[in-house]
Each structure stands twice: as C-alpha cells, then as structure tokens.
Structure 1
C-alpha cells in the first residue's frame, strides 16, 4: 500500500500544464491493478529540408554559380568566401555579428556580407544580401530572408 501512495504522489495532476503535451513515460497501474502503457506525446516538428540546385550547361562559364542550397531553416543567406574572392565581389561589414552553425556542429562568427548581389534564376534577376561564410560545400545558401523577400514557394 505504501508503494501505491508514493506512486500517486509523484504522478502529476490533470490540471497542471493544461494544453501542454504529457511527458510521462513508462507504465502505470490502472484502477484494476493492471499495468497499462501510457501514451507519450511530444510536439511535432517539421522535418529539416534543404534543396540543392546545380547548373548543368552553364557550369563551364566563370560567372555562373553552379551549386546553391535553398534552406528554409536558415534565417540568412550566405555566399562562400572563396567564391567572393574569385569573383572580386565588393564586401561590406555588417552592423551585427551572427553565429552560424552547420549540421556537423561547427560554428563561425560572420560579420561581412555582399550587398545586392544579383542572382539570375531562369532568366530573372533577384537581388540578395549574402553573408560571407567560410564553409565551402555550397557557393550560395538562400535562406528565409531571401525566400520571404521574393515570395518564393518551396515544396
């Protein structure tokens, strides 16, 4: 009997955290003394999605970005430092410093950007403010700032 009282005093009340998902795990005794599995509910999160864009025919042209990433989870858009150096793009200092991390857990502090870089997609030009990023997996990463500005739909 002592174990049952102890179990009941640990169990959260139904009125606490109303609207919040239950975080209890494991088994608990029902009124008939039979063990039942309790349901575990967690907030649903959208899966991470990123889209890679590669140019085929234009890859030999020196002025064409051949690898770009569209990343709706990124708040800013980026350009590879090596790409900026090879194209001699003008660079400005930002008013703020942001910490950027990649999926492998590495992070850098970024405080420089290329303002109003023109990106051509299917014969249309789109301006972009691109933060300089030392990671070189992609020439350009287009984040939510660019996607929102241009009313882009990613599906």
Structure 2
C-alpha cells in the first residue's frame, strides 16, 4: 500500500494511462458513470449467476458466491460516490450482512469437516442459512440503483 500511491501518482502525472490501445482510450473517454455502471453490472451478473437457493449449494459454491459478493461490494464502494443515496446504502448494508452470514456458514462448514460440529453449532448453521437466504433474496430483488444505459434509467430492476 505504501508503494502503490507514489506509483499511481507518477503514472497519472505522466499520463501513460492515456496511451493504451484504442479500446482503452475509448473507455477512458467515457463518463465515469458509464464505466462504473458497466463494472457494477458485470460484478452483479456474476453474483446472480450463482442462483437463489443457498441451501442447495455446496459449501464450495457458497464460498465462491461469497467471493463474487465481495467483488461486488468493493466495486460498489469504489464507484459508490457516483450514485450515493439511500438505495445504495441499503444495498451495501445487505451485502455486508450477507457476507458475514456466508462467512459464518463457511466457518461452520469447516467445523463440520473437522468433526467438531456439535448441536449448538448445528443450530447456528440453520439460523445462519435462514439469515443468509433472506438477505440474498432481498438483495437480489432490490432495484438496480446504478445506471449503465437507458434501460436502468427508465427504472428497470435486477432479475430476482
């Protein structure tokens, strides 16, 4: 982290980032909302591709989903100022809670694999699965609050 900021500053000052290929220059010329909208839409599509039934997923599938949700959350945090508002804040709050619930499920899965899952942990796993399932349903059904193009600007929502 300490070496990244000076390197980034030198690259920005030298404007080397503008010397990319034609596609890179075209992307750099677009408004930040278009680029951010595309990044958010791509990250969101990866999350939705996991499906809606967390209980039907294997431990590994839920772990992969958690990693995609983390990418989405970081993308939201990076581009968030472009669309700051209540919808984004609610979405981000649900994303954080969902990641926590999936992390808890992952921890419990590790205990199960090690043969250390007692009755208390089994009950906790059931509760965590219900919590995660409800959070995922709410998050997946939330309206898209970022705008990539005219479809979202007209108020279309994400697929549930």
- State whether TM-score is above 0.5: no
Query: Per chain length, whose mean CA-contact separation is higher, i.e. which structure has more relative contact order (CA < 8 Å, sep 6+)?
Result: 2
Which one has a larger percent strand, Structure 1 or Structure 2?
Answer: 1
Which one has a larger percent helix, Structure 1 or Structure 2?
Answer: 2
Larger Rg: 1
